[in-house]
Amino acid sequence: MNMERLRYLAAIAESRTFSEAAERLYTTQGNVSKQIQSLEKELGVVLVHRSGRGVSLTEAGQAVSVHARKILTEYTALWQTAASFSPSSRPAVRLCSIPVMAHYGIPEALAGFHSRCPRFRLEIHEQEAVEIPEELEKRRYDLAFTRTNQLDRELFEKLPFFQDRLAAVLPAGHPLAALPEIPLARLREEAFLQLGPSTNLFSTFQESCRQAGFEPDVAYTGTRMENILELVANGMGISLMMLHAASYTANPRIVIRPLAESIVSELSLIRLRHARHSPAARQFWEFFQEYRNASLTASAQSAHPRPGQ
């Protein structure tokens, strides 16, 4: 049986006119009349009296409409029950992150939460760092993994979990590759291949060069670290990147050396400070706080780079 035809009959029983029933169902009077006629043909009985003053249910129509409403109620309950077992119906944690999740152990934290709290669903989106604060303010996401050196502490609170330092990425044969650390001023004549303004590191790069006494020659900007590493490997220039992130992918054709200056980038999980957060988002925040503390303890006992080092 067609459930929609039962809906039309129930609407007629409540409204007593084709026009009002059509309004309720967001359709036309002609379509209401047609669906009722189809139901009458299917059941083999007349369900409504039609007159110029409106419509009324026949005795059969009154009896059938009672069952129609019960069937529709049960049909709705059936769908609601089925939906409760659907993954999309679970409470969601809406997360966004800068693209270098893997470089800083973020997937391990996500997997830990997924294992411990399976009743919550993780919705994870990649976002460039400069866009993240606005996305959180607009409540498109609950939480975000991002760099937080320039974070507005009045608007956001943070759980720092990693500190990385700026390093020079050079072709393997570069004259400065033999140095254990490179003073930034010695790179003033180089062509720089950089992650662009949307990454939040570009302003750090520019300011660091200016503090070292020169305006950098930027030959390339982009958002994909792997492209820049390949350009460096092929001798197109050098780059300033975060040491741990740049070291994530081994490439024998490049050399990575920390700068003599200590220029540090902090990574944190952040959220709006004065917002009402969902139970799912609060659960993730509490989980990550515990996860971070355990990682910090492990990092103090091991030289292996992990979140919190």
**At 308, is the pLDDT very low, low, confident or very high (cuts 50, 70, 90)?**
very low
Over 60: is that where the pLDDT of 136 sits? yes
Residue 84 has pLDDT above 60, yes or no: no
Instruction: Summarize the confidence of residues 143-160 as an average pLDDT.
Output: 93
pLDDT of 231 strictly over 80: yes
Average pLDDT estimate for 237-266: 93
Give pLDDT, residue 23.
80
The pLDDT score that the predictor gives to residue 309 is 43
Q: What are 34-50's pLDDT values in tens digits?
A: 998 999 999 999 999 88
- Rounded average pLDDT over 165-188: 95
Structural domains in the chain, CATH included, are 3-84 (1.10.10.10), 89-161+266-300 (3.40.190.10), 164-265 (3.40.190.10)
Per the CB < 8 A criterion, the answer to whether 165 and 181 are in contact is: no
Looking at residue 15, its pLDDT comes to 82
- The answer to whether residue 80 scores a pLDDT higher than 70 is no
- 148/17: higher pLDDT: 148
Share of the chain above pLDDT 90, in %: 56
